[in-house]
Amino acid sequence: MGERFVVVPVDGGGTLAGVGVHFDAAVTDDPAPDTGSGSSGGTREGKEALEDAVFESQDPNSVVPILEYNREPNKYGDGVPKENSPFINSSENDKGNSYDGTNMALFEEEMDSNPMVSSLLNKLANYTNLTQGAQEHEEADEDEGPKKKAVKSPQMGTFMGVYLPCLQNILGVILFLRLTWIVGTAGILESLAIVGLCCSCTMLTAISMSAIATNGVVPAGGSYYMISRSLGPEFGGAVGLCFYLGTTFAGSMYILGTIEILLTYIVPKAAIFVAEKKEDEVNALLNNMRVYGTCCLALMAVVVFVGVKYVNKLALVFLACVILSILAIYAGVIKTIFEPPDFPVCMLGNRTLQNHNFDTCLKTETIGNITVTTKLWKLFCDGPELNATCPEYFVENNVTVVQGIPGLTSDVISENMWSQYGYLGMLVEKSNLASVGRSDPEQDKYMPYVVNDIATFFTLLVGIYFPSVTGIMAGSNRSGDLRDAQKSIPIGTILAIATTSVIYITCVVLFGACIEGVLLRDKFGDSVKGNLVIGTLSWPSPWVIVIGSFFSCCGAGLQSLTGAPRLLQAIARDGIVPFLQVFGHGKANGEPTWALLLTAGICEIGILIASLDAVAPILSMFFLMCYLFVNLACAVQTLLRTPNWRPRFKYYHWALSFLGMSLCLALMFISSWYYAIVAMGIASCIYKYIEYRGAEKEWGDGIRGVSLNAARYALIRLEDAPPHTKNWRPQLLVLLNLDTDQAVKHPRLLSLTTQLKAGKGLTIVGNVLEGTYLTKETEAKKAEQNIKSSMSAERTKGFCHVVVSSNLRDGVSHLIQSAGLGGMKHNTVLMAWPGTWKQSNDPQSWRNFIETIRETTATHHALLVAKNVDSFPTNQDRLGEGTIDVWWVVHDGGMLMLLPFLLRQHKVWRKCKMRIFTVAQMDDNSIQMKKDLQMFLYHLRLDAEVEVVEMHDNDISAFTYEKTLVMEQRTQMLKQMQLSRTEREREIQSITDESRSSIRRKNPGAAQSATFSRESSPMEDTQEDEAQLIHDRNTASHAAINDKADAEPERVHMTWTKDKLFTERNRNRECNSNVAVRDLFNMKPEWESLNQSNVRRMHTAVKLNEVVVNKSQGAHLVLLNMPGPPKNRGGDENYMEFLEVLLEGLNRVLLVRGGGREVITIYS
C-alpha cells in the first residue's frame, strides 16, 4: 500500500516557490524511483547548496552512489555497537550544512539529528544495496580519496535475478547421477515420499524466507543476514558458519560428481589406479576420486582467485547445460513411446551382468557349424574350452537379454512400484526371471555381477537426495542485484521450488515407467557398457546428458567456491566470532583470499572422503540446520508481533513456519542421527563461544524479544505470591560507594557478592549521585560504566542502577523501594561499614547509614553489612583450612545459617568449616541447648560444629562506665560543635574551667583503661580529648533523659530480655541494694549522671565482644546478629559507638539482620 506525500518547495522568504510536486512512494512497485522528476523553483542562498534537496534537478540516467554499510559502533549512543540507519544518521557533510531558511527556524537546532523530510525522502529514493557477491570484487577502487565508487542501479528482475539462479542451484548432480538409482532402490512410491518430504521442507522454508526477506531492505548476505538479524548474533554466527560448512561440502560434492562423470562415463581409461581384481574396484575408484578431485579443486580455486567475474559470466552457460539436459530427458521419454532406445541388459538367471568385457550375451555361439565359447564364458570358466570348469550357477542357468529401456507404454511401472533395499554386496536381481541354484557369496564376488556398493535403506536415501533440493537461497543472496528484491525474492524462489518439485516428481514417475528395475538399481551403468543410466533415456544421444551434467557440476562447484568464502568473509567482518577476523581481509579489490584458502582446505576434507554418497548426508545436515533456523526466525517474529514485523509477503503463518522447522529437524535425524548430533554440537559450541567471547551486537533480534516476553510472563507469575521458604535465596541490592573519579571504592564488596551468589538469583548493584540528572548526566554514565567494568572484573552477574538524587538519603531510599521489577525484586541489602564515620565532619555519613538500616527494617528486607570489606578475599584467593564462625544471638529467620552454606559453595570458601556459637544466660540449660541446636542443624542438613557460650550476669565494670562516659561526652561535644563559632568558644572555655577539678579526681586505672580503648587515629584522639574536657556540663539534661527513659521503657536488643531489663532497672534504682554500684559512684561521681540504658548497652557490647574475640579472632569470617538502631533518633550517635565496641578486634565481620521471615526450613 503506497503512501502519498505532497512536497511544497518554499523559498528563503517564506513564499511558495512553485507548484507542489506530487508523487507516490510505493516501495513494492519501485524501490529506487527516478528522483529527477521535480525541479527547484526557488533560489538557494548561502555559501553551499543543500546536497540532499529533493527538488534539485538530476539526470535520470545518472549513477547512484553506494550507501555504505557501516559496521562501526555508534559513537553517539550508549556504546553498544549498532548498525547506523542509512536515512536518519547524517553524514559529516550533511552536518556541515547550516539551515538558512526562516520557515523552519523552530527546528533548526535539531537539524543535525533530525533532518528535513525532503532529505529523508531523497536518501530513501536513492538507497541501494551493496552486493555481497562477485560484482563488488571485480574491480579495485582506483580512487584513493574519500570519493565513493559509483555503480549503476540494480536492474535484474524476477526471472533473471531469482528464478534462473535458484533453478541452476537446485537442479544438479543428484538429479543426473543418483535419482535413477534412488527410484530403483526405494521404488516409485517411497521415492515420491522422499521427494515430497524434501520439497515440502524447502517450500515451507521459502515461505518463511520470503516473509523475512520482505520485512524491510535485506542487504546481500542471504540466510546469514536474515538469521543473524532475526535471531541475534549467537544464532546468526552459529547458523551462518553451518551454512558456510554446508556450502563448502556442497563444493566437495559437486567436484566429486564432476570426477565421477569424467572417470566413469567420459574417459574411463584416464584412471590412475586400476583394479586387478573385481573386489578392489571400489578402492581403486575412491583413490582416483581423491587424486583427480584434489587436482580439480586446486584448478577451480585458482580460477576463482584469478578471475571470479568469468565464473559469473559463465553461469548462464552452465544453466543452459542444465536446461538442455532436462529437455533431452523429456524428449527421450516421449521418444520411448514410439521407438524405445536399444540398451540390452544381459541376465544370467535372474542376476544382472556387467557387460564391459563382452559384446554378445551368449555362453556359446556357432561360427561355421563350429560351436565356440564367447567372452562371457571366459569370464566365468577357467578356460575357453567347452569342457572347462565353470561355476554351478553359470552351468545351470541360461543367459537372457532384457531391454533396459522398455518404454513408457510397457508395464514396467508396476514392477518398479515397490522398494528393493539390500545389504552391501547384494546382487542386483530381477525377481520375475527363473533362477536355479543358490548363491555362493565367497565365489560370487569374483564374478562380473552387478552388486550394491553400499547398504541401502530409506533414511540413507533421504540424506543422499536432500542436497538436490538445496539452493533456494540463491535469490536472496543476489538481493543487492535485484530491481525490486521484496517482490522478486518470494515470487522467484517459490516458482523455482515449484518448478523443480514438478521436475523431480515427474522424473521419478517417468524413470519408473520407462526404465527396467535392474538398470535403475545399477548405480554406475555397468550393465549397459558403462553408460550413464539417465543418459540411456535421453534424446538424441546419451552424450547430451553426460556433457551437460559434467558442465553443470563444474559450474556448481565453482559457484560454491565463489560463494562460501564471501559468506565467511561477511561473518568475519561482522566481528561476532573473534578468531575468524583474519578471514575478513583479502586482496586490494576485496577478494577474500584467506577465506578462499580455508574453504579449499575444508573442501579437501570432503574430497578425501571420496564418496559422493558419504558426503551428501554431511552437507544435508548443515543445510537442514540453516533452514530450521530460518523457519524458527519467522515463527518467533510472527508470534512476538514486534512492531517492526511488517512483511510485504502476506502468505505466511507461524504454524507453517513451525511445521517447516519440525520437518527440518525430523529430516536431520531421519537422514543420519549421528551426523545430526555432530552438526548440532558444532552449532552449540559456536553459539556458546559467541555468547561468551564474541563481540557485542545489538541487531534488534527476535531472541531478545523472546527473552523479554518470557521475562514478562515469569515476572507476572512471580507477582502472584511471595516465594516459598524452600525457594528463598538472597536477591541482593549492593550499595556501592564511588570516589570523586566515579571509581568503585570497595571492589571486594562485588567479590563477596559473586561468592555469595555464584551466578544464581538477582543482583542489582546500585549507587547514588548527589545533584540533578541534567547536571550529572555525564558523571552518571561514567559511574555506570565503571561499575559495569568492576562487575565484569569481579565476575558479578547482575544489573547496574545509578540514581541521581537531590540528596544521598533520598537516593538510597528510592533504590531500596523501587529497584527491581514485579516479583523480581531484591530481598537483601548488602553494604559496607562506614569506616570513616568518626573522622567525617559531616554527620550525614553515619546518619544515612542508620537511616538505611531503619528503612530496610521497615521494608522487610534483610541487611548485610561487611566490616573491613577491603580485607575480604578476592575471587582468585583460595582460603585454606579455617572456620566461618556464626554467632547466633537472636533468631533472624535462619539467615545466619544460610549464608555460610551459600559461601561454602564457592571455591574461595570451600575448605572452610562452619562453627555456630550461641549464648546461654544464667537460667539456661547449656547442655540441653547444645543438643537441641545439633538436632536442629541435623534436620537442616548442615554440617557445623556447635558450641554454647555462657555469659553470666556480671556486675558492670568501671571500664564500661568509663567507656559510656567518653561516648556521652563525645556526643555532647558534637552537639556543641553545631553552635556558632563564638558561642562554641565561650561554651568550651566555661566547660573547661568547670571540669578541671573533676579531672583531677579521676581514677588512674580507669583513665588508663579508657585511654587503652580509644581509636588510634589522630582525629579521634583529638575529639576524645575535647570530649574529656566537656565531660558533663548539663547534668540536668541527663537527669531529664533518665526520667524519660524510665517513663518510656526501651526495647533492649542482643542478650537482654524484658524480664532481665526490669530486674536490672529495679536493681539500679535501689541504691542501697547494690553496694558495688554505690562504691563505683563514690569513686567517680560523674558516673551517677550517666544514662543507665546506655550503660547497659555498652556492658552488653563489651562483654559480647570479649567472648567473640576470645573464640573467633582467628576465624576467616565472623557472622554476627546486628542489633537494631534505637527508636529514639537522639541516640543514633551512641548506636554507632555500641557497634564499634562490639566489633573491636575482629578482622572480617559480616553483620546480619533478618528481613522478618523464615528463610530456611527443615522440610523437603
Best-predicted range by mean pLDDT (152-156, 504-508, 964-968): 504-508
Residue 794 has pLDDT above 80, yes or no: yes
- pLDDT of 181 higher than 90: yes
CB 1159 within 8 A of CB 728: yes
**Cα radius of gyration rounded to whole Å, the chain:** 44
pLDDT at 225 over 80: no
Number of other residues whose CB lies within 10 A of the CB of residue 477: 25
Q: Hey, which bits of 843-980 come out as E strands? A: 862-867, 882-888, 912-920, 945-950
How far apart are the C-alpha atoms of 264 and 288, rounded to whole Å?
11
Tell me what pLDDT residue 483 has.
80
pLDDT of 322 above 80: yes
pLDDT of residue 395: 86
Q: Check whether 350 has a pLDDT greater than 70.
A: yes
Tell me: the pLDDT tens digits for 10-68?
444 444 444 333 434 333 343 333 433 333 344 334 433 333 333 334 444 443 333 33
155 vs 136, more confident: 155
- pLDDT at residue number 1: 42
Q: What is the pTM of this model?
A: 0.66
Across 892-918, average pLDDT: 87
Q: In the chain, pLDDT over 90 holds for what percent of residues? A: 22
Least confident of 603-612, 797-806, 913-922, 983-992: 983-992
Closest CA to 182 of 171, 172, 195, 170: 195
Quote the pLDDT of residue 836.
77
**Spatial CA neighbour of 811 closest among 719, 729, 738:** 738
Least confident of 249-258, 639-648, 1010-1019: 1010-1019
Which range, 78-92, 469-483, 993-1007, 1109-1123, is most confident?
1109-1123
Taking all residues of the chain, what is their mean pLDDT, rounded to a whole number? 75
Tens of pLDDT, residues 746-766: 899 999 999 887 657 789 999
Specify the higher pLDDT residue, 310 or 9: 310
Mean pLDDT over 818-837 rounds to 85
* The pLDDT of residue 1102: 82
Reply yes or no on whether the pLDDT at 653 is more than 80. Answer: yes
Between 16 and 1131, residue with greater pLDDT? 1131
pLDDT value, residue 973: 61
3-state secondary structure of 276: coil
Distance CA 355, CA 429 (A): 15
Question: How far, in Å, CA of 635 to CA of 651, rounded?
Answer: 13
Angle between helices 958-976 and 1075-1083 (to 10 degrees): 50
Rounded Cα distance between 212 and 230, Å, is: 8
852-888 burial, b at 16+ Cβ within 10 Å, e below that, comes to bbebbbebebbbbbbbebeebbebeeeeeeebbbbbb
- State mean pLDDT over 672-682: 90
Q: Identify the band that residue 1050 occupies on the pLDDT scale cut at 50, 70 and 90.
A: very low
Q: So what's the pLDDT on residue 1042?
A: 40
Residue 226: count of CB within 10 angstroms of its CB: 26
- pLDDT value, residue 167: 87
In this predicted structure, the answer to whether residue 105 has a pLDDT above a threshold of 70 is no
Greater confidence (277 vs 1049) lies with 277
pLDDT value of residue 802 = 92
Q: What is the pLDDT of residues 267-289, one digit of tens each?
A: 988 888 887 777 778 888 889 99
Residues 439, 830: Cα–Cα separation, whole Å: 84
Give pLDDT, residue 115.
Answer: 63
- Which of the two residues, 1102 and 71, has the higher pLDDT score? 1102
Give the pLDDT mean for 163-188.
90
CA–CA distance, 451 with 422 (Å, rounded to integer): 10
Range of weakest confidence among 191-200, 438-447, 1001-1010: 1001-1010
541-561 pLDDT, tens digit each: 889 999 989 988 988 888 888
List, in sequence order, every residue forming a beta bridge with 888; answer none if it has no partner. 918
CB burial class (10 A; 0-12, 13-18, 19+) of residue 899?
A: buried
Least confident segment among 134-138, 631-635, 991-995: 134-138
Report pLDDT for 196: 95
Q: What is the pLDDT of residue 700?
A: 62
pLDDT of residue 707: 75
116/107 Cα distance (integer angstroms): 9
pLDDT at 805: 92
pLDDT digits (tens, 9 = 90+) for 386-395: 888 888 888 8
Check pLDDT > 50 for residue 71.
Answer: no
Whether 1067 has a pLDDT exceeding 70, the answer reads: no
pLDDT at 328 (0 to 100) = 93
Residue 966 or residue 892, greater confidence:
892
Give the pLDDT score at 842.
Answer: 60
Q: How many angstroms separate the CA atoms of 1011 and 5, rounded?
A: 87
- When mean pLDDT is compared over 415-419, 1001-1005, 1030-1034, the highest value belongs to 415-419
* Average pLDDT estimate for 1125-1144: 78
Q: Name the residue with higher pLDDT: 1009 or 459.
A: 459
Grade residue 990 by pLDDT with cuts at 50, 70 and 90. low
Q: Amino acid letter at 1114?
A: G
pLDDT at 411 exceeding the cut of 50: yes
pLDDT band at 827 (very low <50, low <70, confident <90, very high): confident
3-class secondary-structure state, position 88: coil
For the ranges 246-250, 402-406, 593-597, 1011-1015, the lowest mean pLDDT is seen at: 1011-1015
| pLDDT at res. 23 | 37
For residue 19, what pLDDT is reported? Answer: 39
Half-sphere exposure of 1047 (CA within 13 A, CB side): 6
Mean pLDDT, range 1130-1150, rounded to an integer = 81
Alpha-carbon distance of 192 to 508, in angstroms, equals: 7
**pLDDT tops 90 at residue 512:** yes
Looking at the chain, the whole-number percentage of residues with pLDDT higher than 70 is 71
Q: Please give the pLDDT value at position 256.
A: 93
